[in-house]
Structure formats: structure tokens, C-alpha cells
Amino acid sequence: MSGGRVWIVTGASRGIGAAIARVALEEGDSVALIARGAAVIELAQSLGDAAAGFQCDVADPESVGKTIDAILARFGHIDTLVNNAGVHRGGKIHRLTDEAWQEVLQVNLTGAMNMTRAAVPHMSEGCAVVNVGAVVGFRGFPGDSAYASSKAGLSGLTQALAIELAPKAITANLVIPGLVLTEMTSELSEAALEQMTQQIPLRRFAEDHEVAEVVCWVAQSRYMTGAVVPVDGGLLSSFGVV
């Protein structure tokens, strides 16, 4: 094992999660990358000996427990947990199915709770939990009731964790990415991308590594807990939220 700190990053097979893993590895730390699909194993192998991939369904407490045990066997301890795993199922409430609603809440919110509950007993003073939220958790958009509810719930969970974990000197903070260039957004038309860009005061999407750098900084801050940290190009400020 190389590096001093051991990170767990969920939803790490691509996008922001993979970028967080890369930044942590660049800092000389070790990273357990978690995702449901097998692609996370191959990605971790490509990142070197300090990375290890684990297939895990964060919505399933049994799967989470087995994965935490495997991570401890591999790395010996846990220092930073990043709850980044998420799914999006859109649709206005009269069209949103019960199955879609439950899936989003189970992965985005309950999944974060499952991971935190399993990891925290193995964490100590100086460790950190970083939850990855969303702008929609603070400012409503039509057709996003499930995703917005899950991310708003994640904000409340973060606040509670900050108080509960403070006696152990473990921090818990929430990072709020804005619109990020991903595989999903790359499929949008130029007109749609331009319309979305006009809502952002900085007039551009974020790169995933820009969000990852902030997540890694937040994880290292020892006197900040219960904080909401937007990395959104000013999007929340333009809505008068922060």
C-alpha cells in the first residue's frame, strides 16, 4: 500500500467519482473505488497499485458490509469516505413511477447512510465524510422531484452527521457541484448546452477535476464541518440561494 490516507469513493467508475480518485492518488494516498458495474475494477487496475476497485450496491447494507470488510483487508484502515454514488430518474410527479422514486432515494440517500454507518466505526480523529450533493437539492426544477428530494435529504444527513461525529473529531461536509461536463451532457445539442450555460454566471460548465479538487480540499480541512460548499460557477448565488 502506498500513501498515508485511505479513501473510499462511491460512484467511482466515471465522472466526478473517478476524478476524485485520481486527485487523491496524485496526493500520494490510496483509494478504494466503488461502483455497481465491473468497469470499476478495470479502472482501478489502470490507476496503479494504490487503487483497488470493488463492485458494491450501496443501497444494499449486506453488500456494503462485505465491501467495507474487503477494503479493510486490502488497506487496513479508512480515513476519508466520499459518498458520490447517484442515479437520476426524471419525470414530473404524475409520470414518475414508484419504482423510480424508490431507486433514486435508495441509492442517493440511503446508500450514503449505509456507507457512512459501515465506515465510521473504522474511522478516527482527523477522518472525514464528504457527501456530494446537487444544485437541485436547494433550488427546484420541474421533473426532478426524486433527485431533488434525495439530494436535499443528503444535505440534512450531512448536518446531522457533523454534530454526531464531532466528538470523534470526524468532519462531515457537503460539496455541491454545478453543471459538469460528463458523458451525459456531451450528448446534448449545442442549443441545449448554450441555454444551460447562460444560467451559469461564469458562463461555462465545470470540468470534473475542478469539483474533485474541492472535494479533496474539503476532506483535508480539519475545522470545517457541517458546511455546504458550492462548486457551481455561481449558479446557486444567481438563484439567491447562497
**150 found inside a domain:** yes
At 199, give phi and psi (nearest 5°): -80, -15
- Give the pLDDT of residue 18: 97
Report how far residue 180's alpha carbon sits from residue 162's, in angstroms, rounded to the nearest whole number.
27
**58 found inside a domain:** yes
- Give the pLDDT of residue 139: 84
Q: Is 233 left (phi over 0), alpha (psi -120 to 50) or beta?
A: left
The answer to whether 205 and 194 have CB atoms below 8 angstroms apart is no
- pLDDT tens profile 120-166: 999 999 999 999 999 988 887 788 899 999 999 999 999 999 999 99
List the catalytic residue out of 7, 54, 138, 147. 147
- Give the pLDDT of residue 1: 36
Helices (H) and strands (E) in the chain, counts: 9, 7
- The total domain count for the chain is 1
Report how far residue 162's alpha carbon sits from residue 170's, in angstroms, rounded to the nearest whole number.
8
Q: What is the DSSP letter of 107?
A: I
Report how far residue 234's alpha carbon sits from residue 239's, in angstroms, rounded to the nearest whole number.
9
**203 found inside a domain:** no
**35 found inside a domain:** yes
Q: What's the pTM?
A: 0.93
- pLDDT tens profile 4-18: 899 999 999 999 999
Is the confidence at residue 93, as pLDDT, over 90? no
Q: List Cα–Cα distances, 128 to 136, 145, 222, in angstroms.
A: 24, 29, 9
Pick from 66, 60, 61: nearest CA to 32: 66
- pLDDT tens profile 34-66: 999 999 999 999 999 999 999 999 999 999 999
Containing structural domain, residue 28: 6-180+208-237
**221 found inside a domain:** yes
| DSSP β-ladder status, 171-177 and 80-83 | unpaired
The amino acid that residue 17 corresponds to is G
Mean per-residue pLDDT for 89-112?
Answer: 93
- Percent of the chain, pLDDT > 90? 78
**194 found inside a domain:** no
**108 found inside a domain:** yes
Pick from 208, 102, 220, 221: nearest CA to 231: 208
**193 found inside a domain:** no
- Give the pLDDT of residue 142: 81
- pLDDT tens profile 182-238: 765 665 678 877 888 888 999 998 999 999 999 999 999 999 999 999 999 998 888
Is residue 223 part of the annotated active site? The answer reads no
**CATH code for the domain of 138:** 3.40.50.720
